[in-house]
């Protein structure tokens, strides 16, 4: 990621200068989780993927002369489906929502133009929270929110077949994205052992499953980790970052 885009690595004067320019300034918030992702992927998988989406979006925004900073990621989120697996840290919807609203208030007070949410943690409780909080932020805080919601059909259609099938937790889709960004964090021996698991998580959710195990994922993964490739990961980052940039541009024009 562009060294001068990570807000946490900069002195306050760099942000002050950007905000004083009179041009709109965008803040991207990578939304992740600390959650079990099979025996082969790290607990930080969703943080890594969301930071990857932000990293791919940056040069595209730079090309359009849009000043953008990337915030430190949200590493804690509602993650009850994975709570039975060690290492998962699930927080309440209320706590997650409160943090997000406070971040938005802080950005608004400083003069940021848009808060962009780069989310890859598709736990239904988390997605619902992000949708509702986005509306509240726009209405009550008065800050524009660009939320590329990949669980909506319009955006989901652009992604891979496995993603669309709903067998999309720590499978080919997410494993490819982690291979592309942090290959050293993928346990290749465990990946080789991870048999195909075509069980659809989204169908299981709809039928009332409350945990990954109930949904047919005894090892916290669904889909086809063995088929993952770094090339697919890069392709998916391109598509996801395109969608995020499109949302940001639309909000800047609105």
In the bound state with Zn ion, the residue whose beta carbon lies nearer, of 34 and 134, is 34
Whole-angstrom Cα distance, residue 215 to residue 204?
A: 5
Burial (CB count <10 Å: 0-12, 13-18, 19+), residue 26: buried
In the bound state with Zn ion, the residue whose beta carbon lies nearer, of 43 and 248, is 43
Whole-angstrom Cα distance, residue 246 to residue 202?
A: 26
In the bound state with Zn ion, the residue whose beta carbon lies nearer, of 56 and 163, is 163
Stretch that binds Zn ion, among 43-51, 105-113, 127-135, 213-221 (CB under 5 A): 43-51
Contact pick of 31, 40, 46, 236 for Zn ion (by CB under 5 A) = 46
Mapping DSSP to helix (H, G, I), strand (E, B) and coil, where does residue 221 land?
Answer: coil
Closest CB 72 distance from Zn ion, rounded Å = 19
Closest CB 168 distance from Zn ion, rounded Å = 8
Stretch that binds Zn ion, among 14-22, 39-47, 111-119, 149-157 (CB under 5 A): 39-47
Closest CB 70 distance from Zn ion, rounded Å = 19
Closest CB 53 distance from Zn ion, rounded Å = 12
3-state helix, strand, coil in the chain (%, to 5): 50, 10, 35
CB 59 within 8 A of CB 148: no
In the bound state with Zn ion, the residue whose beta carbon lies nearer, of 45 and 236, is 45
Q: Based on the shown chain and the rule CB under 5 A, indicate whether residue 51 belongs to the binding site for Zn ion.
A: no
In the bound state with Zn ion, the residue whose beta carbon lies nearer, of 38 and 143, is 38
Among candidates 195, 240, 37, which has minimal Cα distance to 123?
Answer: 37
* Cα separation values, 23 from 10, 11, 19, 50, 225, Å: 19, 20, 7, 25, 43
Q: Which residues of this protein are in contact with Zn ion, per CB under 5 A?
A: 45-46
């Amino acid at each position: 990621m562009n060294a001068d885009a990570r807000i946490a690595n900069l002195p306050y004067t760099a942000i002050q200068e950007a905000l004083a320019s009179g041009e709109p300034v965008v803040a991207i918030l990578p939304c992740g989780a600390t959650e079990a992702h099979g025996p082969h992927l790290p607990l930080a998988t969703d943080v890594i993927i969301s930071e990857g989406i932000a990293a791919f979006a940056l040069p595209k925004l730079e090309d359009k002369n849009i000043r953008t900073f990337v915030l430190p990621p949200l590493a804690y989120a509602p993650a009850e489906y994975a709570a039975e697996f060690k290492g998962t840290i699930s927080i309440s919807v209320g706590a997650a929502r409160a943090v997000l609203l406070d971040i938005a208030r802080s950005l608004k007070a400083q003069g940021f133009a848009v808060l962009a949410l780069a989310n890859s943690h598709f736990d239904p409780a988390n997605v619902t929270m992000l949708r509702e909080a986005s509306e509240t932020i726009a209405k009550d805080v008065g800050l524009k929110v660009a939320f590329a919601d990949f669980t909506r059909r319009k955006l989901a259609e652009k992604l891979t077949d496995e993603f669309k099938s709903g067998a999309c937790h720590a499978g080919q889709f997410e494993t490819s994205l982690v291979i592309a960004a942090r290959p050293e964090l993928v346990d290749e021996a465990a990946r080789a052992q991870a048999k195909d698991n075509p069980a659809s998580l989204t169908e299981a959710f709809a039928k009332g499953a409350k945990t990954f195990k109930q949904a047919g994922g005894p090892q916290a993964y669904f889909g086809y980790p063995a088929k993952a490739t770094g090339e697919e990961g890069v392709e998916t980052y391109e598509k996801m970052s395109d969608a995020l940039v499109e949302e940001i541009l639309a909000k800047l024009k609105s």
